[in-house]
């Protein structure tokens, strides 16, 4: 994906010309000096800087209220009352924690919601097959399990052929087993599609299992970033995985037990 696929998503009076033709390496997301506040209060996002490379999987961590979901909404073009510069691909899609399926439309029709023109049913069925839900294309949303509904939501995002896939805690409401399956599915889809992904999550293990790079957001900005240089598929029992997990938890202000405490607990 070349940089000329990018378009500005900005607030009134924002100058985006400085980011065009700078000679920088291609980026799927380029954010410079992004600020967002509500009702004249303290900024939720404060002069944030962010780059995401084409095809890169980035996980965004941080405490509740730090601005993660606000940032994702800005990148999705759902929030334009901003300052600064935001460059994103024209082709992007979002999957939220709540699947947001229309109960009066069958699953395949939900997948096509919002698409321009009159796409054929076969377009939806290909996306549903990719997420393992082809056999449920004619079902009503109320008959789907939580995991199936989330897969339908993912299919609705994928049918847009995104260069940037934005995931806002899409596994948060799933039970543990379904969550593991959904994480694997997203990892497989990303590797097949090659699009850039930004995953907002509270789960450090999830971030390390999926991402090329983990970011921590605090006080409205990216406070910490680290590459996740672990071979795939990843194993939570890998000592290097455990080291990264401890590092991120420490950065998030979560105390982890030392070796002696873990040995005693065992």
pLDDT digits (tens, 9 = 90+) for 165-209: 999 998 887 888 988 999 999 999 999 999 999 999 999 999 999
In a domain, 180, yes or no: no
Q: What is the mean pLDDT of residues 29-37?
A: 95
Indicate whether 119 belongs to any domain.
yes
Classify residue 112: in a domain, yes or no: yes
Instruction: Inform me whether the pLDDT recorded for 89 exceeds 50.
Output: yes
Quick one: what percent of the chain has pLDDT higher than 90?
Answer: 72
Q: By mean pLDDT, which of 32-36, 233-237, 262-266 is the weakest?
A: 262-266
Asked whether residue 105 is assigned to any structural domain, the reply reads: yes
Q: So what's the pLDDT on residue 2?
A: 29
Q: Is the pTM of this model over 0.75?
A: yes
Q: Indicate the number of domains in the chain.
A: 1
Percent of the chain surpassing pLDDT 70: 87
Over residues 37-54, the mean pLDDT reads: 91
Residue range 7-23: mean pLDDT, rounded: 40
The per-residue pLDDT for 256 is: 67
Name which residue leads in pLDDT, 187 or 16: 187
Within a domain: 247? no
Domain-located, residue 231: no
**Average pLDDT over all residues of the chain:** 87
Residue 24 pLDDT class (50, 70, 90 cuts): low
Q: Identify whether 221 is part of a domain.
A: no
| Domain hosting residue 151, numbered range | 92-161
Q: In the predicted model, is pLDDT for residue 116 greater than 60? A: yes
User: What would the mean pLDDT of 57-70 be, rounded to a whole number?
Assistant: 93
Decide if 211 is inside a domain: no
CA dist 72 and 15 (Å) reads: 21
């Amino acid at each position: 994906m070349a940089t000329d696929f990018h378009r500005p998503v900005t607030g009134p009076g924002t100058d985006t010309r400085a980011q065009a033709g700078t000679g920088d390496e291609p980026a799927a997301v380029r954010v410079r000096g992004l600020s967002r506040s509500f009702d004249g209060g303290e900024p939720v996002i404060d002069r944030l800087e962010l780059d995401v490379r084409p095809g890169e999987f980035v996980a965004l961590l941080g405490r509740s209220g730090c601005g993660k979901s606000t940032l994702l909404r800005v990148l999705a073009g759902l929030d334009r009352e901003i300052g600064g510069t935001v460059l994103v691909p024209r082709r992007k899609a979002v999957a939220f924690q709540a699947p947001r399926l229309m109960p009066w439309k069958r699953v395949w029709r939900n997948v096509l919601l919002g698409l321009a023109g009159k796409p054929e049913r076969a377009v939806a069925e290909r996306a549903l097959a990719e997420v393992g839900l082809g056999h449920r294309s004619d079902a009503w949303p109320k008959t789907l399990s939580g995991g199936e509904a989330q897969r339908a939501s993912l299919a609705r995002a994928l049918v847009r052929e995104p260069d940037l896939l934005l995931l806002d805690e899409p596994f948060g409401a799933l039970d543990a087993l379904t969550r593991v399956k959904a994480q694997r599915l997203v990892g497989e889809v990303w590797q097949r599609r090659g699009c850039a992904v930004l995953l907002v999550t509270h789960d450090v293990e999830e971030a390390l299992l999926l991402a090329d790079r983990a970011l921590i957001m605090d006080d409205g900005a990216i406070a910490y970033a680290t590459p996740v240089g672990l071979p795939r598929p990843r194993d939570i029992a890998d000592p290097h995985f455990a080291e990264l997990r401890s590092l991120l938890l420490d950065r998030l202000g979560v105390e982890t037990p030392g070796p002696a405490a873990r040995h005693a607990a065992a």
